[in-house]
Structure 1
Amino acid sequence: MTERGWMEPIVERVVTQVLENHAGQLRTEIVRRVMEEIAAQPATESPAAANSADLARAVSEIQLGTSQKEILKALLDGCSSYAARVALFVVRGGNATGWQGRGFKANDAVKDFALDPKATAVVRVIGDRTFVSAPTADLDGRFVQDFGAPAKGEGRFLPLVLKDKVAALIYADAGTNGDGQLDGGALELLVLSTSAWLEVSTLRKQTA
């Protein structure tokens, strides 16, 4: 057996043991860092509705997921507390396809909805791998037509980045009535926390 051959099982076993032993600490550390980020934000950027205790619970729910589906569902549920409408789109080969939605008049219609890959906001969020706040004109025209334009004239796209690639997108807005909420800071924290936890979960599975 080559040197690499006999070493690999040892390394994999040790990494697995370390991850299992420290999974709880990782959860605690992520929540702690989230709380630090919240505390560092100016009061004007942290609405009363988005208090630290609520965000901590939302992050904890995400980390309780044992599968990718459970984690993403918890992310959507958490985001729905900070935006009137939210949807998750899975990205494959540069194309974003709807998975689930919250707060839409027809949530089921979000499933399998294909975003226009040439829409300005979609191009920016996938290409730049950064949070995008876009006017209605930069959103997918068919999406706006089918689900209604955001009343406040703004939609947010947040990339879920795994291994330096955009694996999914979260779309969020304040709804079509003009009285819904849209807390960009809370949404960003939830998406970043989910990205970190999915990375940990993926590594644990690879070394199992």
Structure 2
Amino acid sequence: MNQIKVDEILSILRKSYKKKSMLGSIKKKSPFYILISTILSIRNRDENTIKVVKNLFSKYKSIKSLANANIKDLERTIKKSGFYKIKAKRIKEVSRILLEEYNGQVPNTLEELIKLPGVGPKVAACTLVYAFNEEEIPVDIHVEVISKRLGWTEEKTANKIWVDLKNKLHKKYWLYINELFVLHGKEICLTRSPKCNICPISIHCSYYSDTYSLKSK
């Protein structure tokens, strides 16, 4: 992969977006806050996640209080996050494990994070990037869609895309990929109807090139 081209694309996106994503806006919070926020964000809109997270941590002030929480009360507290029964069970279990096995601290390695229930590569990578400022590439729907459209990967699943991008992209870009692609994916490179006509990186986009070359024929 042409790293100079990658650098140019990311530079354009940095200049285009001054606001922050949901996770970007809470980077100064504790690693535990960010880990739980990421778990709650799964299959949920950012707007809902923000409200649910604030509600959760206004009621449960510590890891211990979440570990000891009544499961029904916890479910009611996070009900608007979707899949709330599964998430409540995972949050309670993660909290217990962190207390018992990690002295109440969130581990800062991928290997340890993915041992936690409900924490796969995406949640682990988000925690590393946003909580610890460690180089990783969280692959959510925006990273998946945009990396495919740019021609950076031809892989079909999130885990394979994650491995592929890590093999192709210089580590210096890893910290910024998710943040910039989330912002771009919400604003312009929409999953279903991308706004290619106003996209600042369309000149570098394989999807744009292929789509508009076909239309011109």
TM over 0.5: no
TM-score (norm 1): 0.31
> Which structure shows the higher helix fraction?
2
> Which structure shows the higher strand fraction?
1
